Amino acid sequence: MPIRHLSSPPPAAAARRRGRKRQRVVAAVAALALLVQPLVPALPGAGAAYAQRLPDLGDESQAALAPAQERKLGETVIRQIRAQGGYMDDPEVNDYLNDLGHRLVASVPDAHQEFEFFAVPDSSINAFALPGGYIGINTGLILLAQNESELAAVLAHEISHVTQHHLARMMSAQKNSTLLQLAALAVAIAAARSGGPNGGQTASAALASAQALAIQQQLNFTRDNEYEADRIGFQRLEAAGFDVNSMAVFMERLQRVSRFSDSGAPSYLRTHPITYERIAEAQARAQGKPYRQVPDSIDFDFVRALLRSYNGTPKEAVAGFDHAIAERKFNNELAARYGLVASLLRAQNTTRAKSELVALEKVAPPHPMIDAIAAHVYQEAGDIDLALKRFEDALARYPNKMQFIYDYPDALIAANRARDAAAFAERELLRFPTDGRLHRTAAKAYATLGNRMQQHRHQAELFASRGDLRAAVSQLELAVKAGDGDFYQSSVVETRLRTLRQELLEQQREGGTTRDG
């Protein structure tokens, strides 16, 4: 871990007396810090490094961090992932992952915390858990899964890492190995000070042996975690009603992908090592179970089609779906036709998108993703009234679908109904008070209306949701200066400003106490 020290230095005279003596020790400790970094390679892509460095705290680690603090730590990491572009801001994809994930969580009553699942816009194959029950899934992994049970197997495995407190135990194990390496460092320093002819060799040998021991301990610990997550994940997969053979099948597919990959093993294999023993155990667990044919949900097929519509250029995406439909190379024809409409919309070919949408709706059952894309097609085609009607009808049927909650007020603003948009956003913010995207829409609506106080107030909440307290305070200060709100609105802004100023002050104090060495 990074070297920490007080920001206030000792008196200059004392510092000079101790400085030269400490330089050698600090250099040695700094070298040790490099040795005791987490030994599993960090996950590539935004937010992935946190999966290896931050603990999912539980059991013995709760003495250091309470569950509420763990959740807060996870929220902080999520804000950083968002800022780095590692969070896919697509409510349809994330809604599906949360529906699937919570079905698995509920299937085995061993989870005593909240979970949130989110997609990472990364074509590499990976999934990871963060503190507080946050689980990220790369879009590349979603597209690699050939059926819903395979994707569920990955989520069940990740959920089990959290419920079994593996990251907490890994942190504890690394603490123990750090103590061993500190002891080895003491031997190394003593050997170096001895000045004997073999002093340098003794120091190198002590450090090398300590590092080798730490590596072996972590490899064993990680292997045990993977076997346990497989076992508990299998139970979770079966209890949720999925195909239990899918775990071994997906493991085998990952190994085949790595065998023919020019860039080496997929990220998931580097952080979740798959051995023939693990595959064999997964196969053995499934062998005695009755055969169960589990059809994929339409949501699984639609989400995968939507993700494919984002790949390549718009022209390439359209051509890909055209070819799949013409050659009948698809798992689900409705999903392929939905993907074609999504690709045409991305290509701004609204004329053909409308005709393909009509054809799709003639054969497809009612579905929120079709309603959403239909509203967008009509909005992009300039038929704003029909678009609003589609949004309103869909909200009546699916009042909790975030895609409609986000898109409807935007459509209202496009229809020059900013006052209605602001009122809708304010109502939904009573349900989702920290939703940054809703605050952004409200700020846009109030800016259109010329209401500067409310504009800056909601812009402040958008920044606060991202963890940027300084920018949030600046926006609230502008809101106070605007002076165009009523007494109640002014009171709300001033109270919130005092709260965020205090939080910013505490944040600055914490940051000023220590700094990375």
Sign of the Cα torsion 270, 275, 279, 285 reads negative
What average pLDDT does this structure show over 261-269? 56
Q: In this predicted model, what pLDDT tens digit does every residue of 87-104 receive, in sequence order?
A: 999 999 999 999 999 999
* pLDDT exceeds cutoff 50 at 208: yes
pLDDT for the residue 29: 30
Which has more pLDDT, 348 or 266? 348
What average pLDDT does this structure show over 475-490? 96
pLDDT band at 269 (very low <50, low <70, confident <90, very high): low
pLDDT for the residue 271: 61
What average pLDDT does this structure show over 252-262? 70
pLDDT for the residue 45: 38
Which has more pLDDT, 190 or 165? 165
Mean pLDDT of the chain: 80
pLDDT for the residue 72: 79
Q: Which of 34, 32, 33, 52 is nearest to 42 (CA)?
A: 52
Identify the residue whose tokens are 């508990």: 232
Q: In this predicted model, what pLDDT tens digit does every residue of 180-200 receive, in sequence order?
A: 555 555 555 555 555 555 555
**Distance (Å, rounded) from C-alpha 271 to C-alpha 223?**
10
* pLDDT exceeds cutoff 60 at 221: no
What average pLDDT does this structure show over 327-351? 96
pLDDT band at 245 (very low <50, low <70, confident <90, very high): very high
The model carries a pTM of 0.77
Highest mean pLDDT out of 51-60, 170-179, 219-228, 349-358: 349-358
* pLDDT exceeds cutoff 50 at 201: yes
Distances in Å between the alpha carbon of 501 and those of 489, 494, 497, 515?
18, 10, 6, 22
pLDDT band at 18 (very low <50, low <70, confident <90, very high): very low
Identify the residue whose tokens are 């497989």: 230
**Distance (Å, rounded) from C-alpha 351 to C-alpha 130?**
44
Residue 223, judged by CB atoms within 10 A of its CB (0-12, 13-18, 19+), counts as middle
* pLDDT exceeds cutoff 90 at 78: no
For residues 352, 392, 310, 305, the Cα torsion angle rounded to the nearest 10 degrees is -80
pLDDT band at 83 (very low <50, low <70, confident <90, very high): confident
Q: What is the percent of the chain with per-residue pLDDT over 90, rounded to a whole number?
A: 55
**Distance (Å, rounded) from C-alpha 131 to C-alpha 137?**
15
Which has more pLDDT, 417 or 160? 417
List, in order of start, the domains of the chain with CATH numbers: 50-287 (no CATH), 416-517 (1.25.40)
* pLDDT exceeds cutoff 80 at 209: no
What average pLDDT does this structure show over 501-516? 74
pLDDT for the residue 11: 40
Which has more pLDDT, 3 or 125? 125
Q: In this predicted model, what pLDDT tens digit does every residue of 379-402 receive, in sequence order?
A: 999 999 999 999 999 999 999 999
| Residue 233 phi, psi dihedral angles, 5° rounding | -60, -40
Identify the residue whose tokens are 């009042």: 399
Q: Which of 422, 352, 361 is nearest to 394 (CA)?
A: 361
pLDDT for the residue 508: 87
What average pLDDT does this structure show over 229-246? 93
Neighbours of 239 (CB within 10 A): 15
* pLDDT exceeds cutoff 50 at 134: yes
> For residue 258, what are the contacts with CB-CB under 8 A and spacing of at least 6?
264, 265, 266, 269
> For residue 228, what are the contacts with CB-CB under 8 A and spacing of at least 6?
160, 164, 166
Q: In this predicted model, what pLDDT tens digit does every residue of 366-379 receive, in sequence order?
A: 999 999 999 999 99
pLDDT for the residue 290: 81
Full 3-state SS string of 179-208: HHHHHHHHHHHHHHHHCCCCHHHHHHHHHH
**Distance (Å, rounded) from C-alpha 40 to C-alpha 238?**
30
Give the least confident one: 32-36, 174-178, 228-232, 448-452: 32-36
pLDDT band at 124 (very low <50, low <70, confident <90, very high): confident
Element (H or E) spanning 352, and its range? helix 350-363
pLDDT for the residue 182: 53
Residue 458, judged by CB atoms within 10 A of its CB (0-12, 13-18, 19+), counts as buried
* pLDDT exceeds cutoff 60 at 499: yes
pLDDT band at 258 (very low <50, low <70, confident <90, very high): low
What average pLDDT does this structure show over 217-245? 83
**Distance (Å, rounded) from C-alpha 350 to C-alpha 382?**
9
pLDDT band at 509 (very low <50, low <70, confident <90, very high): confident
